[in-house]
Amino acid sequence: MGCDCGEHSTYGAHLRAKNLSVGYCRSAAGGGDYTAEKRNQKELDLYASARAQGVQPERTRTRDIRKALDLSDQMGKAYQPGDEFSGAE
């Protein structure tokens, strides 16, 4: 019994010929993790949004981005590394 297209002896041979693979599966070969990828993309989107507002976070980690955005709100201007903030303004 061959595949429907008639070019392969089995359906398995048909799939192997297409080089199919399962995306984002955890494996020893270094397969990605979809949840981690979503978290990473969300963090990069937040960083891009901050940069579009003129804010320069210390790093691209979410907590640093949020800290820079909060300081920007408190200072009334876009935060840049090295900006001093006393909190009394």
Give residue-wise pLDDT tens across range 21-70. 666 665 555 556 777 788 889 999 999 999 999 999 999 899 999 999 99
pLDDT at 26: 58
pTM, rounded to two decimals: 0.60
What span, in angstroms and rounded, lies between the C-alpha atoms of 84 and 53? 19
Helices (H), ranges, the chain: 11-17, 34-52, 62-75
Q: Domain map of the chain by residue range?
A: 25-75
pLDDT of residue 24: 61
C-beta of residue 56 within 8 angstroms of C-beta of residue 78: yes
Q: Mean pLDDT lowest for which of 16-20, 32-36, 79-83?
A: 32-36
